[in-house]
Amino acid sequence: MSGKPVLWLPRRVSDSTIARARRNYDVIVTETDMPGTADEIVAMSAKADAMMPCHSEHFSADVVARLDPRLKIIANHSVGMDHCDIPALKARNIVVTNTPDVLSDATAELAMLLMLGAARRVVDGERLVRTGSWDSWSPAFMVGKQVSGSRLGIVGMGRVGRAFAAKARGFDMEIHYYNRSRLPEGLEKGAVFHETIESLLPVSDFLSLHCPATPETVDLMNSRRFGLLPDGAVFVNSARGALVDETALLEAIGSGKLAGAGLDCFKTEPGGNPAFAEFNNIFMLPHIGSATAKTRDAMGFRALDNLDAFFAGETPRDAF
């Protein structure tokens, strides 16, 4: 034995992250790169002092109750924490951290892609060219919804929401937002604060979600709230699938209430919702908001920073 703490990596993280981890830890890498099951997590808790899971590994209260006392810290390779029962982990004196800040720009970039793709009918257009079906043009051909100068509603003005707002300002969008509390003027940067979601929705030609999934935000967007959006609005979700009542979204798309939607996350992952595939005005991606090489390295390094601090006897920067 080397005397180093043992670290389990249930998923294949970046090569740079693995190389750095091996300097300070005895690393166990799961080569299959499949989500860790409850039984695997419990079994590995008897072999590892630390884990670096992703949002695909679920630490429910039942799993936490079965964890071996050897496990001391879960350094998540994610910013979202809805896969962890934080109170249950704290009750077992297991430290939990995440990776804020470092994925904000990448996720905001993808939200912008989703918004533009849904607004400018990317699914229809790409399919026409790829299948060789593009054989005509007219002023009425492939007319979409203009983003520039439109009103943008943002639900959740945390790090990602603010990064998205910064990019939207480049399109001269009029920015409105709902947040649990109003931002200081220096962070608000002219955006209009709304005390309720109900106040925000009617002025949102485009609506983008950037809030966490919590028991309070499950099905945040439901039939009633979709109905409050302007006719022909575009809806974007790059946060969590749990935020959306997917049946209500399908109804809003099918009725023409919404001009389109851009989605990077779904209730069921992996897989998504097959019913969405019937609509060409729903632009979908497989939950890849933070999937850039630069961001994956940064996420891994941030998780390792938290581990290094913990094993040095310090409080990790991102501890919950």
* Residues designated catalytic: 240, 269, 287
Q: Is 201 helix (H, G, I), strand (E, B) or coil?
A: helix
The two beta strands, 233-237 and 174-178, are: unpaired
Please check whether residue 25 is in contact with residue 5, taking contact to mean a CB–CB distance below 8 angstroms. yes
List Cβ neighbours of 239 (8 Å cut-off, separation of 6 or more): 156, 160, 209, 210, 211, 212, 213, 265
Task: Find the helix packing angle between 293-311 and 15-24, rounded to 10°.
Answer: 10
Residues 6+ apart with CB under 8 A from 299: 13, 17, 77, 78, 99, 102, 103, 290
Distance CA 33, CA 221 (A): 33
